Amino acid sequence: MLVTVPNLWNYDRYGPGVITEWYKSEGDKVKKKDPLCQVMVIKATYIVESPVDGVIKKIIATKGARVKPGDPLVEIEEVTAPAPPTPTAVPQPQVVTEVKPTPKPEEEYSVVKIEGIRKVIADRMTESLRTMAQYTLHTEIDASELVRLRESRFKDYTYTELISYLVIKALRDYPTLNAHVVGDEMRIFKHVHLGIGVQTDKGLLVGVVKNADEMDLDTLVKNTRKIIDDVRQGKAPPEELTGSTFTISNLGMTEVTFFTPIINPPEVAILGVGKIRDVLGRKYLPLSLTLDHRVIDGYVGAQFLGKLKELIENPQKVLPGVSLLEIPESEFSLTAVSLSDTKIEATIRNFRVIVDEPKESGGTNEGPSPIEYLLLALVGCMNVTIRMIARNRKVKIDSIRFSVVGTLNPAKYLGLSKTSRAGLTKISLNVEIKSSAPKDVIYEIIKEAEERCPVHDTLAHGTQINLEITV
């Protein structure tokens, strides 16, 4: 009886399978439903069973052969009844001379056959490097806020799941990274079919979450976990192992920071995620983005990483259930009474503050001027912000000294010009910090303080003033 390869998969979609294991040899007896061999399609495996009782007469498709449904697989000689026992001749005693074999020299290596899934992986990775002009961009992102949210709000989620969600959002702005190259065509996909690298005892496989961009976080996590479980247990069907348009490979559970992931063809990009590092109290996430230079230039890849940086540093913008509105807004207020042409008295909490002009400006010099208070507010706010950031990074600061100069053209204030600005045209701020920390760390702290200081932001970017008049 000729046994052919069963119709176990869609050949037109997934291509040929590979015989990865024979469980029987020629001459072996088999019973109906006994496993004969294993066929792997992409990275899914199927067991072919014997349709009859019999004896293996000839194996046609040997181990490693590529097959499709309907191809000849094996000849089985059907057996309807057990054969009678064959008489055995009684052996005659013989004189045996012991011959000691010449000992072989001890081998200096062991041989492991590259076959099965490992062979398929090897072939695909070789094809990837042979057919693409691959290069890798590396960057490191401050993931402190992502780490904080994961530890406080998303304890049941892995970093792979959270990063995957953010990657999908970033791909919306850079769809050319969500693509395949087939021949002379670049196929840019409407939906993200996200590939997740899964380490198994048979090698690294890629589970695929189809239409991941249409899922909310919980749905994405649910589907990702199911597919990863299927892949690890070896029961993932071909549709869970094929069709990815962008892949993530996470080595964050190891000691690896940066590495060079190899693109999963025919995709054009893969993102490698390394171990989060603690640097002076901040959490930094290493990322390695490998791209196909045939279709993706370095500038585009860098822009994508920039978008991903924005999302990872500000995950509250896109993660569900997290909003800046959850942090109550702070309100600051005061009341003031005009005492003269140049002097006011303000009440701020329990403090009485006098604002005045110097005598050369017509005042009585009983307190700083409004502009001087404005500059003082900038310095005071920068001091608090710098100290807070340094404390969070566990950086000891011995002292901070500020000097600030504001430049004002009074022409418009005095009514002499209609075109010049009434406000300060320039503010020069000098910050002198004494600390044992490296200079580049101090520069990073000051740079971050510029972005986070409320008064600095108000002066640098402007804030709408709602004026109400009571007569």
Residue 395 sits in a domain of what CATH number?
Answer: 3.30.300.20
- Residue 326 token pair: 């959850």
Same-domain pairing of 437 and 341: no
In a domain, 138, yes or no: yes
Q: Say if 87 falls within a structural domain.
A: no
Q: Verify that 165 and 44 share a domain, yes or no.
A: no
If asked whether residues 185 and 310 sit together in one domain, one would say yes
Q: What is the pLDDT of residue 325?
A: 43
Assigned domain for 103 exists: no
The reply to whether 270 and 209 lie within a common domain is yes
3-state SS track over the chain: CEEECCCCCCHHHHCCEEEEEECCCCCCEECCCCEEEEEEECCEEEEEECCCCEEEEEECCCCCCEECCCCEEEEEEECCCCCCCCCCCCCCCCCCCCCCCCCCCCCCCCCCCCCHHHHHHHHHHHHHHHHCCEEEEEEEEECHHHHHHHHHCCCCCCHHHHHHHHHHHHHHHCHHHCEEEECCEEEECCCCCEEEEEEECCEEEEEEECCHHHCCHHHHHHHHHHHHHHHHCCCCCHHHCCCCCEEEEECCCCCCCCCCCCCCCCECEEEEECCCEEECCEEEEEEEEEEECCCCCHHHHHHHHHHHHHHHHCHHHCCCCCCHHHCCCCCCCCEEEECCCCCEEEEECCEEEEECCCHHHCCCCCCCCHHHHHHHHHHHHHHHHHHHHHHHCCCCEEEEEEEEEEEECCCCCCCCCCCCCCCEEEEEEEEEEEECCCHHHHHHHHHHHHHHCHHHHHHHHCCCCCCCCCC
**In the block, residue with structure tokens 């792979």:** 160
**Two structure tokens written together for 470:** 């009571």
Known catalytic residues are: 293
Report how many domains make up the chain: 4
100 assigned to some structural domain: no
**Cα of 335 vs its chain's centroid, Å:** 50
383 within a domain of the structure (yes/no): yes
Q: What is the pLDDT of residue 142?
A: 93
- Report yes or no on whether pTM surpasses 0.75: no
Return the pLDDT at 280. Answer: 77
Distance CA 332, CA 310 (A): 29
Is 101 within a domain?
no
Q: Residue 237 — φ and ψ, nearest 5°?
A: -75, 165
Pair 43, 55 in one domain: yes
pLDDT at 341: 92
| Per-residue confidence (pLDDT) for residue 12, from 0 to 100 | 77
Chain-centroid distance, C-alpha 26: 50
> Which residues form the domain of 411?
369-461
Residues 38, 147 share a domain: no
Q: Give me the residue label for tokens 């009844």.
A: 81
**Is residue 61 located within the same domain as residue 126?**
no
pLDDT tens, position by position, for the chain (471 residues)?
999 999 887 787 778 888 888 999 999 999 998 889 988 886 677 888 999 999 999 999 998 889 999 999 999 998 865 555 555 555 555 555 565 666 666 667 777 777 666 677 777 777 778 878 899 999 999 999 999 889 888 989 999 999 999 999 999 999 999 999 998 899 999 999 999 999 888 788 899 999 999 999 999 999 999 999 999 998 888 889 889 999 999 999 999 999 999 999 899 999 999 999 988 778 999 999 999 999 999 999 999 999 999 999 999 888 887 654 455 567 889 999 999 999 999 999 889 999 999 999 899 999 999 999 999 999 999 999 999 989 878 899 999 999 999 999 988 888 898 888 899 999 999 999 999 999 999 999 999 999 899 999 999 887 888 888 888
CATH code for position 282 = 3.30.559.10
In this structure, the answer to whether residues 225 and 362 fall within a common structural domain is no
What pLDDT is recorded for position 25?
92
Provide the pLDDT for residue 118.
Answer: 66
Q: Determine contact, residues 70/54, Cβ cutoff 8 Å.
A: no
191, 179 contact by CB (below 8 A): no
203 lies in some domain: yes
190 lies in the same domain as 274: yes
According to the 3-state scheme, what is the secondary structure of 265-334? CCECEEEEECCCEEECCEEEEEEEEEEECCCCCHHHHHHHHHHHHHHHHCHHHCCCCCCHHHCCCCCCCC
At residue 94, the pLDDT reads 58
Q: How many CB atoms lie within 10 A of CB 188?
A: 14
Residues 302 and 195 in one domain: yes
Same domain? For 203 and 338 the reply is no
pLDDT of residue 246: 97
Q: String of b and e for 257-281 (b: at least 16 CB within 10 Å)?
A: bebebbbbbbbbbbbbbbbbeeeee
111 assigned to some structural domain: no
Is residue 197 domain-shared with residue 185, that is, in the same domain?
A: yes
Residue type, 51: P
Q: What angle do CA 77, 79, 83 make, to 5 degrees?
A: 120
CATH of the domain at 27: 2.40.50.100
